[in-house]
Structure 1
Amino acid sequence: MFLKPDDLHGCPAQIAASKPTPPRTGSLRHARAGDAERSGDVSRWSPIDSGPRADGRRTHIPPMIELTVPKAPRWQASWLGRVLVTAACAAVLLSPGAACAWLAPGHMATGAIAYDSLERRDRQAVAAVVQIMMSHPDRARFDGELRDLTGAARDRKLFEFMARWPDDVRLTPFDHPSWHYSEKVVSAAGLVIRPAFGRAPAAFSHQLAVARNRGAAAADRAVALCWVLHIVGDMHQPLHAGMWMSRRFPFTDAGGVNAWIRTSPDMKPQTFHRFWDSAGALDPAEGHRRDPDTFAARLEAEHPDPLSPVPGDVHKAFVRWVDESRVLARDIAYEDGRVVFGTSEATATAPPAGYVDGVQAVAERRLADAGSHIAAVLVGLR
């Protein structure tokens, strides 16, 4: 049995109960070939063109994992293949499909920054977003949150709730757990496993195409817009792009989900992923959730929007933002292996002096950048 990306959610016990059986070759390639085409649910996959079929049509195959085993002498090949395939399967099973980036206040801050930036760049695009969202299939949820607001204040708050909506609808038919991340292994020894686990880049490109398609159903465009805002925000969180592998975490820390930290020796332990999410949601001094509007205003003052040009190739720009997060995961979050984390709540460790403040500064800058980038990809929407 092979797991599709959207199967990778739920508790660890549920995930571990499914045991993928690797093929006999050294590669896991294009598992579940053609499932999306046969079911008609191609929205869940980023298509790979496998070339023309005998009847002249082209088949789009959803990729699962591609693991390339380096060339080795014959006596080593079988052993090396087993090691790499085992590592790949373990990384898939431990991938952080259920993790949330930034929590609600952080995502809402990116939505507010995106609204402010788009208002300056393209007011017609703001009006188009508001109009499209009138047809959202989950409109009642938005109306309930916005019922006391009118005019520009309502529109700005709408952007905020759009940015958090995919987290609000987890475990519903709207949920796509694998769209929230694109993890690659980072390690002091370099990348051990080449592919990314998670569908964020493919989902972003597809949802942006739907949102921009004036011929698509308005309801589909509205859902797609929420995903665009959310995925951009998620992928500015470093631990949604990089997971650590080391002797201490031989099958990765699953993007910090399986690593434990205390912000100080007397504080309650928390997962490393939760610690990063909280950097964009909780006031470090008070410990309570931030007000998104106040937080967004401070981020805009400290990190003014440069109104960068709209990227010519949006997908390449998105990949670049993900790569930036991956570098930050390796160099800042994991400090290239110099920071030691616990493997359980009982063994949670406190980081070196100054580490928490450094994380806070990076997280806030990434949130500000995410809001600006959301606005950039929405310019021209009609």
Structure 2
Amino acid sequence: MGGHRVTGVLAALSLAASAPQTIAAIHAIMQSHPAAAAFEARMSDAGDQPQARSERLFAEMAQWPDEVRSGPLKAYHRGDWHTIDLPFFAQNYNPPREPQIADINLLSALNENLRIAADTSAPAADRAVALCWIFHLIGDLHQPLHAASLYSPLFPDGDRHGTRFFVRPPHSEDAVNLHYFWDSIVQRSQNMSDVTRTATQLQALYPRSTLDEMQQQPYRSPASVRGWIIDESHRLAVSEGYLDGRLAGATERRNASRLSEAYAARAQVVGARRMSLAAERLAEIMRALFPH
């Protein structure tokens, strides 16, 4: 899905207006990334215009952790870093086994990568990889279905952040899991023209001044992120993703219930706003990491 690229472009736009020196610092570190040549090749598609090159670099940085799921750089893949399965017990369901939150999860991974990125004595290549993970994980943690797992009679062992919960989108005969539906609701295309168009639209719809969470839960330190997950994303997963346990789902694609158009429209709004918020917070974190 292209949502991570959209978040990267939006962060580049935010920093261009407020902290161009931070962008320059990121460019410098990324020259030591193990995929630096590939990043440079993709930036060349943007021509010689510095802002366009930065937008493309940030887009690729945000997407990179998904691209190393396979291929020559698979050693950098971390499947357990993308989610944190905070349990949601539908209608006070009492599961047969007490859910355990894995020690290695989205929050612990983000904290570790923030530590590496801030360590000026660390190898530049390690800091560059950490930056890509920060870009990606900030996007992940703002999407509700990355911060919850439903426990119910249908899912006594949890639905694994919606990946086992099958639904049928409006106007589609193909069933998808709920996690995929939310991940792709705003931007499915990876094409950079489409990504840039969506970023421009979101910048107009949700400027920083409209994102009250920036004032309610500002970034002061890595500890700030915990509130973004628990107070925001998890609560949205419960109320908007699972409709407080009322959303009909299935364990098999063939039995998937159809989502209403109202549900899909609401998911689009929530997802777009969370994407915009993720980008502004990412820019805020980058300013903190590279102050000038």
TM-score by length of 2: 0.88
| Distance in 2 of aligned mates of 1:279 and 1:357 | 9
- Higher mean alpha-carbon deviation, 215-224 vs 143-152, is at 143-152
Q: Aligned pair 1:339/2:247, yes or no?
A: yes
Question: Which structure is higher in RCO with an 8 Å CA cutoff and minimum separation 6?
Answer: 2
Partner of 1:369: 277
Q: CA deviation at 1:262?
A: 0.8
Do the aligned residues in 1 keep the contact of 2:219 with 2:225 (CA within 8 Å)?
no
- Number of residue equivalences: 275
Partner of 1:269: 175
Q: Aligned pair 1:196/2:101, yes or no?
A: yes
Counterpart residue identity of residue 274, structure 1:
Y
- Higher mean alpha-carbon deviation, 202-211 vs 156-165, is at 202-211
| Distance in 1 of aligned mates of 2:126 and 2:286 | 16
Higher gyration radius (CA): 1
- How has the CA–CA distance of structure 1 residues 312 and 380 changed in structure 2, closer, same or farther, with 3 Å as cutoff? closer
2:186 to 256, 259, 280: 280
- How has the CA–CA distance of structure 1 residues 263 and 305 changed in structure 2, closer, same or farther, with 3 Å as cutoff? same
Q: Aligned pair 1:124/2:21, yes or no?
A: yes
| Distance in 1 of aligned mates of 2:193 and 2:280 | 20
Q: What residue ranges of structure 1 are gaps of 5+ in the alignment?
A: 1-102
Counterpart residue identity of residue 248, structure 2:
V
| Distance in 1 of aligned mates of 2:172 and 2:7 | 32
Partner of 1:244: 150
Q: Aligned pair 1:177/2:79, yes or no?
A: yes
Structure 1 segment 85-96 matched on structure 2, within 5 A: none
Identity between Structure 1 and Structure 2 (%): 33
Do the aligned residues in 2 keep the contact of 1:110 with 1:368 (CA within 8 Å)?
yes
1:317 to 217, 224, 237: 224
1:113 to 10, 17, 23: 10
Partner of 1:152: 51
Counterpart residue identity of residue 322, structure 1:
I
Partner of 1:17: none
Q: SS of 1:173's equivalent?
A: helix
CA RMSD of aligned residues (A): 2.2
- How has the CA–CA distance of structure 1 residues 191 and 147 changed in structure 2, closer, same or farther, with 3 Å as cutoff? farther
Q: CA deviation at 1:124?
A: 1.4
Of Structure 1 and Structure 2, which has the larger fraction of its residues in helix?
Answer: 2
Q: CA deviation at 1:369?
A: 0.6
Q: What residue ranges of structure 2 are gaps of 5+ in the alignment?
A: none
Q: CA deviation at 1:359?
A: 0.7
1:329 to 208, 232, 237: 237
Q: CA deviation at 1:113?
A: 0.9
| Distance in 2 of aligned mates of 1:272 and 1:260 | 6
| Distance in 1 of aligned mates of 2:275 and 2:27 | 23
The one-character-per-residue Cα deviations of 1:80-126 (angstroms, maximum 9, x if unpaired) are xxxxxxxxxxxxxxxxxxxxxxx2x1000100111111222322111
Do the aligned residues in 1 keep the contact of 2:22 with 2:286 (CA within 8 Å)?
yes
Partner of 2:208: 305
| Distance in 2 of aligned mates of 1:190 and 1:128 | 50
Counterpart residue identity of residue 89, structure 2:
S
TM-score by length of 1: 0.68
Partner of 2:60: 161
Q: Aligned pair 1:222/2:128, yes or no?
A: yes
Do the aligned residues in 2 keep the contact of 1:136 with 1:219 (CA within 8 Å)?
yes
1:253 to 135, 155, 159: 159
Counterpart residue identity of residue 364, structure 1:
A
